[in-house]
Amino acid sequence: MMDTIRLGKSGPEVCGMGFGAMPLSLRRRPAEDMAIAVLIQAIDAGITFIDTADAYCIDETDKHHNERLIAKALSGFASDVKNLVIATKGGFIRPSRQWVRNSHPGHLRDTIRESYLALGGKRPISLWQHHAPDPEVPVEVSLAVAATAVKEGLIRHVGVSNYSVPLIERARNVIEIVSVQNQYSPWHRKPEADGVISYCEREGITFIPWSPLGGDTRSKHLGEYDILTTLAREKNASPHQIVLAWVRSKSPCILPIPGSTRPEHVIDNVAALNIMLSVDEIRRIDTAIPA
């Protein structure tokens, strides 16, 4: 039976390996038929958690591209996908291909409804996450918009992204938070140092690391790290699988969401669920790859 993880204390149970759909909609995105093939492969491989965002697009004229792409892929899917969790985010805009924070209530209200419609408009958004704190808007104001959307039936569960522990606690005073999505990989270990992972584990919140393979550029060169290739040979695995196994080893509350633009890479990532690292092997990776 495939490893599973529950989203927070009240959310659904999903496969222990998710899929990050962002690469399918940015500037170097694949052709639409290839992107849809990747999404279908993810579902066929047993993945039940797909991460997206309203701002996964080229610019503001392309807003909600990733969400619409996922909805199109699902519309042609023959089997039942009711248990599939689509997690989207809101709080960024993309003027001139930049990433600009915008959590003003009016914008969040509009983009939540637009995300709901882009994803099909037939059932509540499984998980909506506030994409990042906005220095111009208190998190209480941003999360109040999400709380209202839950009451309106647009959203089922709420999470946050790029949040510190103090901000997570403030958000939880407004509404139940089932997930925290921050950057985390062997090369970026801030969530270990700032206590976010330990806080999530202690409080029953799912931690979703973005860029778990170190980012698009680094993930193409994992074979250049001796420790990863050595362990990969020993375990008949790929360096990518070793990194994902390392990420998962850090806490039972962690749900990695590696992205890909090729179906075969999705299969490789899911197979990382079968890789187990010893305490010594984890320590060797920690030592060989400085954060």
Q: 239 to each of 149, 182, 183, 226, 268, how far by Cα in Å?
A: 41, 22, 19, 10, 10
Length of the chain: 291
Q: How crowded is residue 113: how many other Cβ atoms within 10 Å of its Cβ?
A: 14
Which entry of 56, 116, 184, 225 is annotated as an active-site residue? Answer: 56
Is 184 designated active site? Answer: no
Quote the CA–CA distance of 51 and 40 in Å, as a whole number: 14
Active centre residues (catalytic): 56
